[in-house]
């Protein structure tokens, strides 16, 4: 077995040497991949290694626009928000970096790091919160930039997130170093990512975080409720009807025994809701 493995290794090394010397040289990336996949079939290169090599080749031809988080899905913080409004966004999203905006999502004023808020958990520090003093300069990148170039820039400049702009200078989305690395090594999940697929997350006996697109039927089943789905299919639609307009982040309303607070929203839709029950308020 050891002799066979050594012969296979020599065969692969010889084919690579021939490619370098111009003999049987691969004509394109596909032919080079064929050589490497042959090595994987012979157990010279592991399947995981082959997957990463495929990812490296893909990153070399992909553009930022191919993997960016679209503008509408960005979780942002508004510059004029106080700490009580900023913290729920930070906690519920589970992200570590947030674009800070002015009047709209085209006005990116900076980037907030979640770790910079830790100091305000200390006694007496909360009153000194000033978001303007915490934001860091944003990094912008065109949506047409090759991913391998962006990764090099991330490493060289020690940046982890860039604001993606389109050809007209408008904000198209954001991209992180994790997004790029996942194209090479696959999904990088943490404890929060494992919960993201759930529509309803229970925090304690009376508190929940709920995606606005959660079907009312699912909400009723999980929270032992009886909200009507005659006019709307989703809990976000029901909340919007109750408020009477497209709500902004922080707006609240009550339906039946449930208190709803909008944690994340944009001009056309609600994304995330905080839900508490009457029992918490002693009603």
Task: Identify whether residues 161 and 218 lie together within a single domain.
Answer: no
Task: Identify whether residues 118 and 223 lie together within a single domain.
Answer: no
φ, ψ dihedrals at 270, nearest 5°? -95, 145
The CATH number of the domain holding residue 129 is 3.10.580.10
* Cβ atoms of residues 161 and 173 within 8 Å: no
Task: Identify whether residues 185 and 128 lie together within a single domain.
Answer: yes
In a domain, 75, yes or no: yes
Task: Identify whether residues 105 and 121 lie together within a single domain.
Answer: yes
Residue recorded with tokens 């990088």: 188
- Spatial separation of the C-alpha atoms in residues 125 and 129, rounded to whole Å: 7
Our CA angle for 75, 277, 268, nearest 5°, is 30
Residue ending a domain, choose from 141, 162, 191: 191
More confident residue, 13 or 67: 67
- Spatial separation of the C-alpha atoms in residues 74 and 138, rounded to whole Å: 15
Element at 4 (helix H, strand E) = helix 2-21
φ, ψ dihedrals at 194, nearest 5°? -65, -25
68-78 pLDDT tens trace? 888 888 889 99
What does the pLDDT read at residue 11? 56
- Spatial separation of the C-alpha atoms in residues 33 and 264, rounded to whole Å: 44
In a domain, 29, yes or no: yes
For residue 217, pLDDT over 90 is answered with yes
93-114 pLDDT tens trace? 878 899 999 988 899 999 999 9
Task: Identify whether residues 183 and 130 lie together within a single domain.
Answer: yes
Task: Identify whether residues 90 and 186 lie together within a single domain.
Answer: yes
What does the pLDDT read at residue 281? 47
Residue ending a domain, choose from 137, 167, 191: 191
For residue 22, pLDDT over 70 is answered with no
Task: Identify whether residues 205 and 253 lie together within a single domain.
Answer: yes
Give the pLDDT band of residue 189 (cuts 50, 70, 90): low
190-212 pLDDT tens trace? 545 545 567 888 776 778 888 88
More confident residue, 101 or 31: 101
Task: Identify whether residues 29 and 79 lie together within a single domain.
Answer: no
Instruction: Name every residue whose Cβ is closer than 8 Å to that of residue 109 and which is 6 or more positions away in sequence.
Output: 79, 100, 101, 102, 135, 138
> What is the domain extent for residue 207?
198-281
Task: Identify whether residues 216 and 259 lie together within a single domain.
Answer: yes
More confident residue, 250 or 158: 158
What does the pLDDT read at residue 18? 55
- Per the structure, the count of domains in the chain is 3
Q: For residue 128, what is the DSSP state?
A: G
Within a 10 A sphere around the Cβ of 267, how many other Cβ atoms? 9
In a domain, 53, yes or no: no
What does the chain come to in residues?
A: 283
What does the pLDDT read at residue 194? 45
Task: Identify whether residues 113 and 143 lie together within a single domain.
Answer: yes
Query: Residue 99 has which token pair?
Result: 């674009």
Within a 10 A sphere around the Cβ of 141, how many other Cβ atoms? 21
Task: Identify whether residues 71 and 142 lie together within a single domain.
Answer: yes
In a domain, 50, yes or no: no
In a domain, 236, yes or no: yes
In a domain, 240, yes or no: yes
* Cβ atoms of residues 94 and 194 within 8 Å: no
For residue 219, pLDDT over 90 is answered with yes
In sequence order, what are the beta bridge partners of 77? 100
For residue 46, pLDDT over 90 is answered with no
In a domain, 157, yes or no: yes
Residue ending a domain, choose from 173, 191, 209: 191
In a domain, 59, yes or no: no
Give the pLDDT band of residue 271 (cuts 50, 70, 90): confident
pLDDT more than 90, % of the chain: 35
Task: Identify whether residues 131 and 214 lie together within a single domain.
Answer: no
């Amino acid at each position: 077995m050891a002799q066979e493995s050594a012969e296979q290794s020599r065969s692969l090394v010889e084919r690579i040497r021939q490619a370098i010397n111009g003999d049987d040289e691969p004509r394109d990336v596909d032919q080079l991949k064929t050589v490497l996949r042959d090595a994987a079939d012979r157990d010279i290169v592991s399947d995981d290694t082959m997957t990463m090599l495929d990812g490296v080749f893909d990153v070399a031809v992909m553009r930022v626009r191919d993997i960016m988080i679209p503008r509408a899905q960005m979780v942002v913080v508004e510059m004029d928000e106080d700490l009580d409004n900023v913290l729920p966004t930070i906690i519920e999203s589970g992200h570590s970096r947030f674009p800070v905006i002015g009047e709209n999502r085209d006005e990116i004023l900076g980037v907030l790091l979640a770790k910079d808020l830790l100091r305000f958990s200390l006694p007496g520090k909360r009153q000194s919160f000033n978001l303007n003093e915490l934001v860091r300069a944003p990094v912008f990148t065109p949506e047409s930039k090759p991913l391998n170039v962006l990764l090099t820039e991330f490493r060289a400049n020690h940046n982890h997130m860039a604001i993606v702009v389109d050809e007209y200078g408008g904000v198209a989305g954001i991209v992180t170093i994790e997004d790029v690395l996942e194209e090479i090594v696959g999904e990088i999940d943490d404890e929060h990512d494992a919960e993201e697929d759930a529509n309803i997350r229970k925090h304690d006996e009376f508190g929940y975080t709920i995606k606005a697109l959660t079907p009312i039927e699912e909400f009723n089943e999980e929270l032992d409720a009886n909200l009507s789905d005659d006019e709307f299919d989703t809990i976000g639609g029901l909340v919007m009807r109750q408020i009477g307009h497209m709500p902004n982040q922080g707006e609240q309303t009550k339906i039946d025994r449930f208190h709803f607070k909008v944690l994340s929203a944009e001009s056309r839709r609600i994304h995330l809701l905080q839900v508490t029950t009457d029992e918490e308020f002693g009603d």
